[in-house]
């Protein structure tokens, strides 16, 4: 069998049509016929080799929705034709301390869907069935793939850290950020969106934000001091973090989920005196993904997305690179 997709042949290049023969379907693997795949900013980091872990050629894409087309002999709970979703994580060792605690996304031996493997900008994928999730019927398949990476990445820190009376700030209202606003609002929190794009205000308020702060305006930023219990940064850039640490209430937390290269500078005394914390988080474990999908179905949360045919993948990448995606682009196999 041959899988057809679009691959980066070298760092930073446009994707080109590419075919490969997949490995034989293992007893715990599933094969998924891909209908949709979201475009996450991490795909761009991988195309550009920003994290120094890309191997070329490779097919990006890790926000997959499709139908099971084959399953290994030991796979349980998945049937041919069933609609499923696949996210960032492809597998974990299942035997380490973290996996035994159900924290597979902390497993030191985890593998990613499109690092060292070909991802979802293709017609099919073969992957570990234990990381293939049945998609609830109530979720629209055309805009649910992004829940599997963008969605779970902001859901996890909210699920772990907030109470419904808390005040939550989201920095950067792109793919991850717009899920952050929707989830935090559905958790019952008061939500402040910190954005460099004032033109997003109306849409972001409609998504559930209580307050919209144009983060380039120092006076507005000063007014947010001592207002937030949790701030999640989804931006893929190093910022001046001091105003955000100041925006935290005592015992508040700044959680990084956006990928920033190198080091960040933090105001030491603000952290110490305010008993404030800084942490990071990636995706979520399998049980939290299943929970997030159920929560999203119940609260009607999907990506605000634009659907484009898979063959226009380079146009989609350019649109995301230039900051013009609203708020996720989903590629569709026609
Ligand atoms: P995205 O759609 O491009 O959104 C990023 C948003 O950040 C932009 O819409 C913009 O929002 C803001 N932003 C961008 N550049 C900025 C700058 N220089 N200064 C201030 N704000 C800026 O990207 P995404 O797909 O949401 O991904 C965001 C980051 O999360 C990426 O680095 C990605 O790799 C990472 N990520 C991490 C995980 C994880 O597990 N931790 C999972 C998925 C993705 P405004 O216009 O509102 O300012």
pLDDT in tens, 294-310: 999 999 999 999 999 99
Cα–Cα nearest to 141, from 322, 310, 307: 307
For the Cβ of 252 lying below 6 angstroms from any atom of ligand 1, the answer is no
Average pLDDT over residues 4-12: 98
Q: Give 208's DSSP letter.
A: T
Closest protein CA for atom 4 of ligand 1 = 174
For the Cβ of 319 lying below 6 angstroms from any atom of ligand 1, the answer is no
For the Cβ of 296 lying below 6 angstroms from any atom of ligand 1, the answer is no
Residue 19: strand pairing partners = 4
CA distance 228 to 274: 12
CA of 41 to the centre of ligand 1 (A): 7
Give the model's pLDDT for residue 261. 87
CA of 95 to the centre of ligand 1 (A): 33
pLDDT in tens, 199-213: 999 999 999 999 999
Give the model's pLDDT for residue 177. 98
Given a contact cutoff of 8 angstroms between Cβ atoms, the answer to whether 301 and 121 are in contact is no
Whether 121 has a pLDDT exceeding 90, the answer reads: yes
Give the model's pLDDT for residue 270. 97
CA distance 330 to 332: 6
Q: What is the mean pLDDT of the chain?
A: 97
Whether 262 has a pLDDT exceeding 90, the answer reads: no
- 3-state class of 51 per DSSP? coil
pLDDT in tens, 172-184: 999 999 999 999 9
Residue 124: strand pairing partners = 33
């Amino acid at each position: 069998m041959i899988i057809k997709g679009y691959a980066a042949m070298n760092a930073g290049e446009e994707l080109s049509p590419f075919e490969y023969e997949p490995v034989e379907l293992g007893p715990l693997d599933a094969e998924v016929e891909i209908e949709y795949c979201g475009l996450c900013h991490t795909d761009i980091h991988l195309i550009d080799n920003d994290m120094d872990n890309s191997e070329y050629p490779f097919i990006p894409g890790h926000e997959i929705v499709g139908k099971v087309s084959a399953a290994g002999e030991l796979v349980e709970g998945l049937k041919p034709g069933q609609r499923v979703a696949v996210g960032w994580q492809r597998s974990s060792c299942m035997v380490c301390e973290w996996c035994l605690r159900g924290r597979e996304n902390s497993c030191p031996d985890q593998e990613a869907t499109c690092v060292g493997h070909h991802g979802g900008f293709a017609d099919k994928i073969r992957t570990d069935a234990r990381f293939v999730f049945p998609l609830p019927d109530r979720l629209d398949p055309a805009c649910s793939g992004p829940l599997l990476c963008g969605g779970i990445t902001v859901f996890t820190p909210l699920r772990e850290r907030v109470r419904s009376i808390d005040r939550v700030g989201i920095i950067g209202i792109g793919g991850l950020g717009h899920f952050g606003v929707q989830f935090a609002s559905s958790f019952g929190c008061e939500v402040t969106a910190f954005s460099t794009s004032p033109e997003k205000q109306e849409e972001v308020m409609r998504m559930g934000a209580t307050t919209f702060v144009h983060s380039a305006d120092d006076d507005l930023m000063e007014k947010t001091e001592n207002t937030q219990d949790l701030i999640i940064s989804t931006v893929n850039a190093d910022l001046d973090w001091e105003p955000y640490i100041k925006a935290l209430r005592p015992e508040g937390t700044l959680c990084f989920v956006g990928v920033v290269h190198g080091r960040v500078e933090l105001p030491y005394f603000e952290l110490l005196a305010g008993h404030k914390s800084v942490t990071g988080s990636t995706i979520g474990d399998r049980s939290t993904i299943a929970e997030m999908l159920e929560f999203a179905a119940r609260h009607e949360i999907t990506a605000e997305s634009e659907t484009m045919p898979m063959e226009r993948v380079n146009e989609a990448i350019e649109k995301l690179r230039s900051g013009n995606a609203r708020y996720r682009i989903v590629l569709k196999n026609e």
